[in-house]
Amino acid sequence: MDSQTNSARGNHFYRALFISTFVISAFTVGGGFVIIPLLKAKYVDEYGWIKDKEALDLVAIAQSMPGVVAANASILLGYRMAGVLGAAIALLATILPPLITLTAISFAYEAFASNPYIQMILKGMQCGATALIVNVAIDLLSKQIKKGLLLPLMIIAGTFTANFFFDVNIMLLVLIDGLIGLFFMRSHKFD
């Protein structure tokens, strides 16, 4: 591996990491795999803090370990970008918004759920998140197509079909794809 973690970062970096993660988490409705493309758009595409391939590796680990994927991903990405402190800051920024929102809502759930203006804002933000996810998906897919390797494209097609159309358990898919990788994809050309 080329480098260890970038642990020596300035205060400016930590502030930017906290604020950007906090805002993404605060305005990403739906949880789970929805926040990951947005974190990628911010950390990789906008700030260039981490490379594409590395981000995908870390998300793959986040998906395979116990716990909530969004929290896991922020811990792993934060650790890569700025060591243990980075992991702590990214995790805190990921869980604080739901903690605050849910605490507020638990006092006034009915009012919140039936307020039409809140529903309008949430609907709008959900469409915005859709655009961002689609953009990240297109970007990642076209990179894989450009590489022109058959096996990864078959994994994408198979995993997508099983997950989206047949609701196959994600853990099972991760296990199968990991085994395919273990046996057939050790070559550096798949890196």
Partner 1 sequence: MIYIILFLEFAKAGLFCVGGGYASMPLIQAVVVDQYHWLSLREFIDIFTISQMTPGPIGVNAATFAGNKIAGILGAVSATAGFVFPSFILGILLAMLFYKYGDIGPIRGILNGLRPAVVALIIGAGFSFILLALWNSEAMPSDWAAVDLRGGIILLLAIIAIRKKQGVIPVLLGSGILGLVIGILQQY
Residue 29 touching partner 1 (CB under 8 A): yes
8 contacts partner 1 (rule: CB under 8 A): no
d(CA 54, CA 105): 37
CA distance 177 to 114: 43
191 lies in the site for partner 1, by CB under 8 A: yes
In the bound state with partner 1, the residue whose beta carbon lies nearer, of 15 and 128, is 128
The reply to whether 11 sits near partner 1 by the rule CB under 8 A is no
- Count CB-CB contacts under 10 A for residue 158: 15
Q: How many residues does the chain have?
A: 191
Using CB under 8 A, which residues numbered 56 to 115 contact partner 1? 56-72, 75-76, 79-80, 84, 87-88, 91, 95, 97-99, 101-103, 105-106, 109, 113
Could you say which residues in the range 110-139 bind partner 1, by CB under 8 A? 113, 116-117, 119-137
Nearby residues of 18 by Cβ (< 8 Å), 6 or more positions away: 89, 90, 92, 93
* 147-166: contacts with partner 1 (CB under 8 A): 152-153, 155-160, 163-164
Both structure tokens of 160: 């997508």
